[in-house]
Amino acid sequence: MEHTAGRLTSSEPGLGLRPVGAIAGFLAPALIIYFAFTAYPVVRTIWNSFFQVFPNRPDEFVGWANYATLLFEDRFFHRAVGNTLVWALISPVVEIAIALLLALALYARVPGSRFFRLAWFTPVLMSYVVVGIIWTWIFNFDWGIANGMLRAVGLDHWAQAWLGHPDTALPSLIFVTTWMWAGFNMVVLLAAMHSLPSEVLEAAELDNCGWMAKLRYIVIPLVRPTILNLMVLSFVGKMRVFDLVWITTRGGPLWSTETVSTYVYKRAFNWNTFDLGYPCAIATIWFVVVLGGVLILTGLLRSRDKLEY
């Protein structure tokens, strides 16, 4: 996700000028907002994590106690971390695999591809609140269409309250985010494929390269940077997933869908513990984990030798 947009060279006239007043004026509003409502809250969250923070009482310094508790004692937190990691590691792979298949289908110049593209993109335009409520109904035991279809094909014994059982709730929610994001990933991949140089593909065509071989040796390696970005995006998105869980299951049943985000929210605003220091420690740890995850993902996937074309 590093910035690679077209840079200006310093040889260009005008850029040597340094109208200090104008520069400060242009930057000030954005930087004030940034420091007041992003940077300062981040620092304050990290600071809080070493304190017990109760309303109407001076903060009490507790050192690493919050971290010790959440790392070694808090089973709910461990459960939340497990669930979130499962989500964040499965989703990027599944979403992008499906998206690749869909993009390839449209890349083969199927009639109506423009319509398909527009239709498949729609789920990502809806809020998680709307999506969550719709899928609560779809997964409903009595009249949800998921069970309706199973019953229609005679698989009655498979019908169940998908979001109500600890074994199926998390997979069902992962299914929902996959439904939501596959189309988005597809659109991005398709755009990347359409920007590939046609000579390469034509050359493969001439070499009598099979469809699978073309995919494996040409298309996928060439769109790898895009796949990498999508994976990072999907990973980061799932590491912070909150709305969908909050609307559908609130982390239940039996903490089977608890995510780090819902747990932070519960500890900060929902349980009557009133201590803001502990959730700040969770948020801080998770912040470090997300940054580390992004670095590892980027490193892992980018280190392979780059293709020139």
Partner 1 sequence: MTTSIRFDLKHGFLVVALALYTAFAAGPFLWVASMSLRTTTEISAEPYALPDTLHFSKFAIAWTDGNYGTYFGNSVIVVLSAVAVLTVIGAMAAHCFARYRFPFRRFLYFLVFSTIIFPPQITIIALFQILVEYGLFNTRTGLVLAYVAFQLPITVYILESFFARIPSDLYDAARMDGYSEWEIFWRISLPVAMPALSTTVILNTILLWNEFLYAVVLITDDDKRTLPLGIQKYMGDQLIDIGMLATGLMIAIVPVVIVYVFFSEKLIQGMTAGAIK
Residues numbered 211-250 forming contacts with partner 1, rule: CB under 8 A: 225-226, 229-230, 232-233, 236, 239-240, 242-243, 246-247
What count of other Cβ atoms lies within 10 Å of the Cβ of residue 111? 7
The two tokens of residue 59 are: 């903060």
Regarding 18 and contact with partner 1 (CB under 8 A), the answer is yes
Go through 73-97 and write b for each residue having 16 or more CB atoms within 10 A of its CB, e for each that does not. Answer: ebeebebbbebbbebbebbbebbbe
Q: Which is nearer to partner 1, 169 or 247 (CB)?
A: 247
152 φ, ψ to 5°? -65, -30
Size of the site for partner 1 (CB under 8 A): 107
Regarding 292 and contact with partner 1 (CB under 8 A), the answer is no
Nearest-approach distance from CB 69 to partner 1, in angstroms: 17
Q: Which is nearer to partner 1, 203 or 267 (CB)?
A: 267
How would DSSP label each residue in 266-292? IIIIISTT--SHHHHHHHHHHHHHHHH
Q: Given the rule CB under 8 A, which of 72-80, 98-106, 150-158, 163-171 is the region that contacts partner 1?
A: 98-106
Among 210, 290, 292, 296, binds partner 1 (CB under 8 A): 290
- The secondary structure of residue 142, as a DSSP letter, is T
Q: Which is nearer to partner 1, 146 or 218 (CB)?
A: 146
Nearest-approach distance from CB 175 to partner 1, in angstroms: 11
C-alpha 135/C-alpha 157 separation (Å) is: 21
Regarding 145 and contact with partner 1 (CB under 8 A), the answer is yes
Nearest-approach distance from CB 138 to partner 1, in angstroms: 7
Residue whose C-alpha is closest to residue 144's, from 158, 161, 132, 129: 161
Regarding 208 and contact with partner 1 (CB under 8 A), the answer is no
How big is the chain, counted in residues?
Answer: 309
Task: List binders of partner 1 among 36-95 (CB under 8 A).
Answer: 36-42, 44-45, 48, 53
Residue whose C-alpha is closest to residue 102's, from 177, 178, 51, 29: 178
Q: Which is nearer to partner 1, 42 or 203 (CB)?
A: 42
Regarding 124 and contact with partner 1 (CB under 8 A), the answer is yes
Please report, in angstroms and rounded to a whole number, the separation of the first and last CA atoms in the chain: 21
Q: Given the rule CB under 8 A, which of 62-70, 72-80, 107-115, 161-169 is the region that contacts partner 1?
A: 107-115
